[in-house]
Amino acid sequence: MKDYKINFPKNIGIWTRADESQIITAENIFDYMDGAGELYLGYRFDHLEVYEYTADKQDDILVEFYFMETSDDAFGLLSQDWGGNPVDLIPAQKDKTTKSTAPSSRALYGGGLLRMWSEDLYIRIMAYQETHESKEAVLSLGQALAKNRKTTPEPHLLKILPLAINSDWKLRTDRIVYFRSYLVLNSFYYLSHQNILNLDNSTEALTAPYEYRNNQEQGRVQLLFIKYENQKKAEQAITHFLKIYLPEHKKELLQASTIKNSNFYEVEDGWLGYKMFGPCIAIVFGCPNQESAQMIISKILN
């Protein structure tokens, strides 16, 4: 378990916290939260420290520090929900030269809840009842926590995402999700109750939609990009995926001596295409035709 302390105030407004925290690990995370524990474990969760701020005649403020293995994992937790109002906790330190593919804000606030990504920490600060005073306290605490922490870049994998494809298909940056677990993937784009892409904590992946819209028509395709530890694992994963996900093409797949590096299939909800290169696989779902699937895959890999 990571062993370092976070400097943050004992008092914030009229609220005061206890010195000791509640420690949550992988062994007892399901006792602390019902159902959501798998999503944190899927991001290489180290441990969670929980504090409560209390004040007379006021509802408590809950603070949760999720210690993750890397900054990428902490980013992944924030990427599960880009909703809320962006908050620049330290505007003077904002790096305007760093280009972000995902929304650039590292903190989002709404309904009494502040969610932050800071280095290898994912932080939730929640007022049980939102008032003017509790909102000020939550944001002040967020500012205090961000003050002495470094600004780390978003996961390098996001650089493969073009903001637009041939000026027609636009990336929904507010729907980018970075993940490692198939359970997280299924929360945003359901494929199967099984782990048909062999995802685990050694993989890193992202999914995001591209949208096409004009006066006559509109459409959306879903991109999935996965990086495995090595090429062998990528080959095993795409073989497993195709055999489970495309039962209507079972005969064709059985007759093939080897899985092709790329292929395109017409399925119930449009065209599906994939391309494998080295340890990486790009898959696109719901394309209106084979040409668009080929074009999107090609643009991603370029």
pLDDT in tens, 160-197: 999 999 878 999 999 999 999 999 999 999 999 999 99
Same domain, 137 and 186: no
Same domain, 141 and 185: no
pLDDT in tens, 229-257: 999 999 999 999 999 999 887 666 555 55
In tens, the pLDDT along 77-128 reads 999 999 999 998 866 455 555 678 999 889 999 999 999 999 999 999 999 9
Question: 224 and 283 in contact (C-beta within 8 Å)?
Answer: yes
Would residue 6 count as lying in a domain?
Answer: no
Query: Are 133 and 162 contained in the same domain?
Result: no
Structural domain ending residue among the three candidates 146, 177, 196: 146
289 in the same domain as 161: yes
Boundary-marking domain end, from 83, 118, 146: 146
SS3 98: coil
Residues 72 and 104 in one domain: yes
Residue 164 CB contacts under 8 Å (≥ 6 apart), including other chains: 170, 171
Can you tell me whether residue 256 is helix, strand or coil? coil
Residues 16 and 139 in one domain: yes
Residue 111 within any structural domain of the chain: yes
pTM > 0.75: yes
Residue that finishes a domain, picked among 103, 123, 146: 146
Are both 226 and 131 inside the same structural domain?
A: no
Q: Which CATH number do you get for residue 271?
A: 3.40.1000
**Residue 2, domain member (yes or no):** no
Whole-angstrom Cα Rg for the chain? 22
Nearest CA to 179 out of 60, 96, 68, 289 is that of 68
Spatial separation of the C-alpha atoms in residues 297 and 199, rounded to whole Å: 21
Does 151 reside within a domain? no
Here the tokens at position 201 are 């904590």
- Domain tally, the chain: 2
* Nearest alpha-carbon partner for 300 in 274, 279, 267, 265: 274
Check whether residue 69 and residue 24 sit in a common domain: yes
Residue 2: exposed, middle, or buried by beta-carbon count in 10 A (0-12, 13-18, 19+)?
Answer: exposed
Residues 176 and 291 in one domain: yes
pLDDT tens digits, 3-45? 667 889 999 999 999 999 999 999 999 999 877 888 899 999 9
* Pair (161, 295) in one structural domain: yes
* Residue 243 lies in domain: 156-301
DSSP 7: -
For residue 214, give both structure tokens: 């004009």
Integer Cα distance of 136 and 112 in angstroms? 10
